[in-house]
Amino acid sequence: MTTARDRARLAGVHPDIVAVVEAARKQVPFIVVEGLRARERQAQMVKSGASRSMDSRHLTGHAIDLAPTVGGKVRWDWPLFYPMAKAMKVAAREMGIPIVWGGDWKSFPDGPHFELDRGAYPA
């Protein structure tokens, strides 16, 4: 179920990734942490070390951050990100929408991060 809070955080996000989120959340519970970011917010994320790039897909609405929930509470345990990622990947595949999960990145794994593939969705 999409909450008003999640709808607000999905404002400005590409409709294809929003559709994947809606399909995936039928399989596992999670919240939307962040979607579209202003350049100032992205600069803060880089400064704090939470991001490494000012070329983030969040700046164009092509990325979202999600967090799993257990019993209605947000959890940041890495093992909980895998079922959420699987639900997102399955939903995306079934819809023909190529996505990338930050948890698969080797140099800077980012469990909450999902983005539309740059090749199929240039900014």
Q: Are the CB atoms for 52 and 26 separated by under 8 Å?
A: no
Give the tens place of pLDDT for each residue, 56-92. 898 899 999 999 999 989 999 999 999 999 999 999 9
Question: What is the rounded distance in angstroms from the CA atom of residue 53 to the CA atom of residue 82?
Answer: 24
Instruction: Report the pLDDT value the prediction gives residue 1, as an integer from 0 to 100.
Output: 63
Could you read off the pLDDT of 88-123 as tens digits, one per residue? 999 999 999 999 999 999 988 999 999 999 999 997
Q: Is the pTM of this model over 0.75?
A: yes
pLDDT at 19: 97
In the chain, what percentage of residues exceed pLDDT 90? 73
For residues 81 and 16, give the distance between their C-alpha atoms in angstroms, rounded to a whole number.
21
Fold of the 4-116 domain = Muramoyl-pentapeptide Carboxypeptidase; domain 2 (3.30.1380)
Judge whether residue 20 has pLDDT over 80: yes
pLDDT at residue 50, as a whole number: 80
